[in-house]
Structure 1
Amino acid sequence: MRQYLRISLVWLLLAALLGLTVLSSYVLTGPPGVLAGIVIATMKAVLVLWFFMNMREETPMVRLFSTAALFWLAALLLLTFSDYVTRGAV
C-alpha cells in the first residue's frame, strides 16, 4: 500500500509540474521562460529517474554512470546552443 501512495504522490507532483510548465509558457516570455522551462523539465526528469527508473535502489556505480551520462548530455547541449547563439544571421 505504501508503494502505491508513493507512486501516486510522485504522479501528482509530475502533474503539478506539468501544470506549472503550461502556466509558465503563457506568463513568461523570452529568456526567463526558457530558463523556467529547463528548470521544470530537470525537476521532472529527476523525479522520473529517481522513482520510476528506481535509481534510488541502484548501486553507486550505476548512479555514477547515469549522472555522468546526464552531464555529458548537458555538455553537448550547451556546446550546441553556444554554437547556435554565436552564428551570424544568414
Structure 2
Amino acid sequence: MTGHDTEHHAVPARTNMLVWAALMMLTAITVGVTAYDFGFLNVVVALSVATTKAGLVILWFMHLRYEGRVIRLMVFTAFVILAIAIGFTFFDVAYR
C-alpha cells in the first residue's frame, strides 16, 4: 500500500500527558474566570480559552500536526470562517 494509510505517528506518552495537563489547566482557567465579571469581554475570554483547548486537541490528539499544509490550511480556514460567523452575531448584541 502506498499513501497516507501506511503512515503512523507514535506520539510519546510524555507529550500526551503534557497536552492533557495543559487542557486541565485551561479547564481550571475556564472555571476560574467565571468568578470575575469582564463585562462584554466575558464571551471573548471564554471563546479564547475554548479555542486554545480545541487547537490542542486538534493538533495532538487528532494528529493535525503531522498532516500536510493543504489539510492544515483547510482546518484553519474553517476556524476563520467560524470566527467570522460568531463575530457577526456580536453585531446584533452590540447594536440593540
Q: TM-score range by the shorter chain?
A: 0.7 to 0.9
Same amino acid, percent of matched pairs: 32
Gaps of 5+ in 2: 1-9
> Runs (4+) of structure 1 moved beyond 6 Å?
none
**Which structure has greater helix proportion?**
1
Deviations 1:13-39 (A, max 9, x none): 100110011011113442343332222
Q: Give runs of aligned pairs for residues 31-50 of structure 1, distance below 5 A.
A: 31-50=40-59
**Scaled by the length of structure 2, what TM-score is found?**
0.79
1:50 CA drift (Å): 0.8
Which residue does 2:7 correspond to in 1? none
Specify whether residues 2 and 76 from structure 1 end up closer, same or farther in structure 2 by C-alpha distance, changes over 3 A only.
Answer: closer
**Scaled by the length of structure 1, what TM-score is found?**
0.83
Q: Please, what is the CA RMSD of the aligned residues?
A: 1.8
Gaps of 5+ in 1: none
AA aligned opposite 1:21: T
Tell which has more relative contact order, 1 or 2 (C-alpha 8 A, sep 6+): 2
